[in-house]
Amino acid sequence: MPEGELKSVSVDCCHGTEGTVDFMHNGISSHQTAARYVRTPPPLPDSLNNGIMLSSPNLVTPLSAVGSGGQLVKKVPNKSCTLPSMGFSSGSAATNQKKPNELSHLPKRLPVDIQFANLAYSVSEGRRRGYKTILKNISGKFRSSELTAIMGPSGAGKSTLMNILAGYKTSHLNGTLLINGKERKLRHFRKMSCYIMQDDQLMPHLTVREAMTVSANLKLGKQTSSNAKRIVIEEIMETLGLVECCNTRTTNLSGGQRKRLSIALELVNNPPVMFFDEPTSGLDSSSCFQCLSLLKSLARGGRTIICTIHQPSARLFEMFDHLLTLAEGQCIYQGSVQGLVPFLSSVGFECPSYHNPADYVMEVACGEHGECIPKLVMAVNSGKCNNLNQQQSASNVTETCIANDNVKDNTDRILSNGMTGGTVSVPGVTCTTSLLDSDENLKHCKQNTGFPTSSFLQFYILLKRTFLSTMRDQTLTQMRFFSHVVVGLLIGMIYFGIGNEASKVMSNSGCIFFTILFLMFTAMMPTILTFPVEMAVFMREHLNYWYSLKSFYFAKTMADLPFQIVFSIIYVVIVYFMTSQPPEVMRFMMLLTMCILTSVVAQSLGLLIGAAMSVENGVFFGPVASVPILLFSGFFVNFNTIPGYLQWVTYVSYIRYGFEGAMISIYGYGREKLSCSEEYCHFRNSTMFLEEMDMARAEYWIDAVALAGFFLLLRCVAYLVLRLKLRLMK
């Protein structure tokens, strides 16, 4: 945007003393009063450019009138007016009639209220210790169109409560959880909610637009045309200020941009409930403000926005509509932000003037003002904060009722019209983006609990994404490619022309063993290093109901195969011809097959290690676990030399099968006598050499089947580990 452009529009629709401007909401003009244009400095790269910053008139202290980047922002009441959701008012004064950016093309959804009563949660600490209670009798209600904060000291149970509400923790849970007054149906609820984690897990090698496209393809399904998906993507990117970086890879995004992209990816199907785990962590104060502004705008769009937050500044604290404060797993306050100070005061804790109420309540919760938690819990349980909140909101009752009536009228109208597409104006609380999901709601909540797309489509989309991502991954692909070429040439030079020389069969077997060893490590180690990142992305997307584990896993398996095959071919071609192995197509193909099988087995082992443990543990465990596998491969020590009680280990050494199969490929199947450049060559007959290596009776096909079996087994175990991980999260 050009410097000095008129950008922000502040609206006061309740104190209609100023000019008038019409905002187009979904094609229907909604009359707003009091437009004011504010000259702003050029936006920061991260600027959300929210045209309108909103705040409650009932806040403890007024919301700062200075928005992010210095633009003036005028307060408007919380609920009584229709607001352009996250609209950037772009253009100059002359274009002030321009329709602000809105999320008008998203699927339609009904607002969702979450009510919970007497939630108690405990975790098992082993048989001896029994159960540890983490949450005790937490009750409350999180409403649509409100930005709710769950606050409390570290270990108070914030994340646990949010995980329970989001449906990620379900075992050892007592209490009632209602969604719009009805019992929560977990699968259905998970489909209409999303959880945005603290560490924004993104596919590092995809651009913003590519990531958005994958999200739209997976979350909107086939019933939405590609054109409609494109419009949704453009609209969200524009609204969230991601257009500038749409071709930037996610690994290069700033913290604020990553957070916005995480939100954008989930917004594609317009979930009415959004959970955020510490959305401001790791952001500077300006980005924190922008981030919360965005969340507030999302809430004003009719969504239920719930986030955990540690210790917000006064400026951020005031942006929340609703607050639930926890201490030691108990609720010590619940209600509006502006009700906090009066509540604390009523229990005998006076928040000093000019003191951030958020800081003060944290001090109280941490016990810095004496043993107070039982007192506060009692006050909450006796309904004290409810009473105070009711008194405080009494003045707003009339306008809230009007707003709610509007929502109801509008919802009824949409339902009775059977409106399935186009634009919808929802005056009042729900604003522009609280749209109805045509599939779920218009057909009176048909309980479609599956994923938005078929398993095959999920597989196809993920296959393409994994393939693209692997292609761009320097560790996984580019470095591996060069290492195969360089090491292939090096080995070719070291063992140059020895393949048909009887006096050098031991050296040649070393060359074959090194080939297997090299392909094993280059397949296993990059997977150990990179899979945990992919897995974190998978966890986020799977838990947000994008696709199934099966589709992800099949796609991962299939996308990896071409790379393993190509790298093995590159290396084997170089080494085979430089070292003058027998010029027979069959032997070449047999050796190549062994090399490919060994590398896919090693990669599967890497996948299992990556799935089961962290990168740090994996890079230690992978090579260490490979030592016995190599030791019992038949190269260092013959089978008959190994003590009987240890011989079984050779059967679980997959390298043994790879090495044996490779040796048979070169020296088996009645190879003609080798040439001898010395006076006497003991191993001119290659069968003698195989006998010396205890491989004369080995069968190539058994080695190939054994490796294929290892591949399937390791892939299945890795799959089960992933399943177990998902289950343990509950």
Residue closer to ligand ATP (CB basis): 157 or 312: 157
Which tokens sit at 421? Answer: 């597409």
Q: Which residues of 3-25 are buried (b: 16+ CB within 10 A; e: fewer)?
A: eebbbbbbbbbeeeeeeebebbb
DSSP 249: B
677 binds ligand ATP (CB under 6 A): no
Restricting to residues 485-544, which ones interact with ligand ATP according to CB under 6 A? none
Nearest to 335 by CA among 259, 344, 29, 125: 344
**Site track for ligand ATP across 105-124, x = CB under 6 A:** ------------------x-
Tell me how far, at minimum, the Cβ of 64 lies from ligand ATP, in Å.
26
**Minimal distance, residue 373 CB to ligand ATP, in Å:** 14
CB atoms within 10 A of CB 93: 9
Judged by beta carbon, residue 536 or residue 696, the one nearer ligand ATP is: 536
* Closer Cβ to ligand ATP, 380 or 591, answer by number: 380
- The H helix count followed by the E strand count for the chain is 22, 14
97 in Cβ contact with 22 (< 8 Å): yes
Residue in 60, 134, 535, 609 binding ligand ATP, rule: CB under 6 A: 134
Are 61 and 314 within 8 A, CB to CB? yes
List, in order, residues 6 or more apart from 326 with CB less than 8 Å away.
135, 138, 150, 151, 152, 156, 157, 158, 161, 332, 365
Min separation Cβ 135 and ligand ATP, Å: 8
> For ligand ATP, which is the closer residue by CB, 157 or 301?
157
198 vs 448, beta carbon nearer ligand ATP = 198
**CA 346 centroid distance within chain:** 43
The DSSP secondary-structure symbol of 64 reads P
Rounded Cα–Cα distance for residues 250 and 59 (Å): 37
Would you say how long the chain is, in residues?
730
| In the complex, least distance from residue 158 CB atom to ligand ATP, rounded to whole angstroms | 4
In angstroms, give the least distance from the CB of 327 to ligand ATP.
Answer: 9
**Minimum distance between the CB of residue 286 and ligand ATP, rounded to whole angstroms?**
23
* Residue placing its CB nearer to ligand ATP in the complex, 45 or 155: 155
- Spatial separation of the C-alpha atoms in residues 157 and 142, rounded to whole Å: 17
Which of 152, 312 has the CB closer to ligand ATP?
152
Q: Using the rule CB under 6 A, is 98 a contact of ligand ATP?
A: no
Residue 71 Ramachandran class (φ > 0 left, ψ -120 to 50 alpha, else beta): beta
x/- site string to ligand ATP, residues 138 to 177, per CB under 6 A? --------------x-xxxxxxx-----------------
- Contacts with 73 (C-beta within 8 Å, 6 or more apart), sequence order: 8, 10, 38, 52, 53, 63, 64, 65, 66, 67
| Cβ nearer to ligand ATP, comparing 64 with 198 | 198
Encoded one letter per residue, x for contact with ligand ATP by CB under 6 A and - for no contact, window 408-447 reads: ----------------------------------------
Q: Name the minimum Å distance from CB 196 to ligand ATP.
A: 15
Report helix, strand or coil for 592. Answer: helix
**Residue 332 beta carbon to ligand ATP: minimum distance, rounded to whole angstroms:** 13
Q: Which is nearer to ligand ATP, 196 or 214 (CB)?
A: 196
Query: Please, are residues 374 and 50 in contact by the beta-carbon 8 Å criterion?
Result: no
Binding residues for ligand ATP, total number by CB under 6 A = 12
Is 132 among the residues that bind ligand ATP (CB under 6 A)?
A: yes
Check residue 179 for interaction with ligand ATP (CB under 6 A): no
Name the site residues for ligand ATP (rule: CB under 6 A): 123, 125, 132, 134, 152, 154-160
